A and B are shown apart, each in its own frame.
Chain A
Amino acid sequence: MLRFLSLRLARALLTLVLVVTFAFVVLRLSGDPALLIMSADAPPEAIAAFRRAWGLDDPLWAQYLRYFTAIFQGDLGNSMRDGRSAVSLVGERIPATLALTVPALFIKIGLGIPAGVYAALHRNSWADRAVMLLAVAGFTVPSFVLGLMLVLLFAVQLGWLPSGGQESWRHAILPVITLGLGGAAVLARFTRSAMLEVLGQPYMRTALAKGVPWQVAVRRHALPNAAIPTVTIVGFMIGSLLAGAVVVESVFSWPGVGRLLVVAVANRDLAVVQAILLLVAATMVTANLVVDLLYGVLDPRLRNGARGTA
Chain B
Amino acid sequence: MAEPLVEIRGLTVSFDGLPALRGVDLAIGRGEAVALVGESGCGKSVTWLAALGLLPGKARVSGSVTLEGAELIGAPAPALDRIRGGRVAMIFQDPASSLNPVHRIGKQIVEALRLHRGLSGAAAREEARRLLDQVGMPDARRRLDAFPHELSGGQNQRVMIAMALAGRPELLVADEPTTALDVTIQAQILELLAEIRRDTGMALVLVSHDLGVVAETCERVCVMYAGRIVEETAAERLFAGPAHPYAEGLLAALPPMDGPRRPLAAIPGGVPEPWAMPRGCAFAPRCPRRAAACEAAPPPLAEVAPDHRAACLYPGAAAMVSPAPALMPA
Contacts and interface: CB of A to CB of B under 8 A. Distances in A.
A299 B101 CA distance: 8
Kindly state the interface size class of chain A when it binds its partner: 20 to 34
B106 interface: no
Contact of B150 (A205, A212, A298, A304): A304
A208 B147 contact: no
Given A210-B164, A301-B149, A202 B92 contact: yes
B86 interface: yes
B99 interface: yes
Interface residues of B, number: 34
Contacts, number: 79
A209 B52 contact: yes
Contacts of B83: 211
B78 to A, nearest CB: 7
B100 A207 contact: yes
Contacts of B167: 210-211
B81 A209 contact: no
B59 to A, nearest CB: 13
Interface in B63-111: 77-78, 81-86, 89-90, 92, 94, 97-103, 111
B267 interface: no
B163 interface: yes
Nearest to A123: B57
A202 to B, nearest CB: 4
B166 A210 contact: yes
Contacts of B86: 211
Contacts of A210: 84-85, 89, 111-112, 115, 163-164, 166-167
A203 interface: yes
A208 B81 CA distance: 8
Contacts of B160: 206
A206 B149 contact: no
A106 interface: no
A206 B81 contact: no
A210 B166 CA distance: 9
Interface string A266-310: 000000000000000000000000000000001111001000000
B54 interface: yes
Name the residue among A203, A206, A220 with the largest chain B CB count within 10 angstroms.
A206
A220 B115 CA distance: 14
Interface string B120-131: 000000000000
B54 to A, nearest CB: 6
> 4 shortest A-B CB distances, which residue pairs?
A211-B85, A210-B85, A203-B100, A300-B147
